[in-house]
Amino acid sequence: MSPRDQRRQPDRFIDLARMAAFDTLRDVHASGAYANLALAEQQRAHDLTSQEAALCTELVNGTCRWEGTYDRIIEAAGGRALGTLQPAIVDVLRLGTHQLMAMRTPTHAAVSTSVDLAGIALGERTTGVVNAIIRKVAARSFDEWLDELTAGMGERGALALRTGHPRWIVDAWAAVLPEDELEAALQADNVPPVPTLVVRPGLAERDELLGESASPTPYSPFGVIREGNPSELAAVRQRRAGVQDEGSQLVALALTRVEDHSPTQQQKRWLDLCAGPGGKAALLTGLAQQDGATLLANEAHQHRADLVRKALMAYPVNQWQVVVGDGTKPQWQPGSFNRVMADVPCSGLGSLRRRPESRWRRTPDEVHELHQLQRDLLESAIESTAPGGVIAYVTCSPHRAETSAVVTAVADDRVEILDAPAHLPEVPEPRALTDERFVQLWPHRHGTDAMFLALLRRR
* Active site (catalytic) residues: 396
In angstroms, the CA 351 to CA 359 distance is 10
- Specify whether the CB–CB gap between 71 and 82 falls below 8 A: yes
Q: What angle do CA 250, 231, 64 make, to 5 degrees?
A: 75
d(CA 111, CA 332): 61
Which residues, 6 or more positions from 306, have their beta carbon under 8 angstroms from its beta carbon? none
Q: In sequence order, which residues have a C-beta less than 8 Å from that of residue 1 and are 6 or more positions away? A: none
CB 313 within 8 A of CB 319: no
How far is 94 from 226, CA to CA, in rounded Å? 31
CB 301 within 8 A of CB 232: no
What is the rounded CA–CA span in Å between residue 235 and residue 49?
A: 25
Task: Give residue 152's region: left, alpha or beta (phi > 0; psi -120 to 50).
Answer: left
Strand residue runs (E) in 334-417: 337-343, 385-395, 415-417
Cα separation, 95 vs 25, in Å, equals 9
In this structure, which amino acid lies at residue 255?
Answer: L
Please tell me whether residue 168 adopts helix, strand or coil conformation.
helix
**H-helix or E-strand containing 243?**
strand 241-243
Q: Which residues contact 332 (CB under 8 A, 6 or more apart)?
A: 271, 296, 384
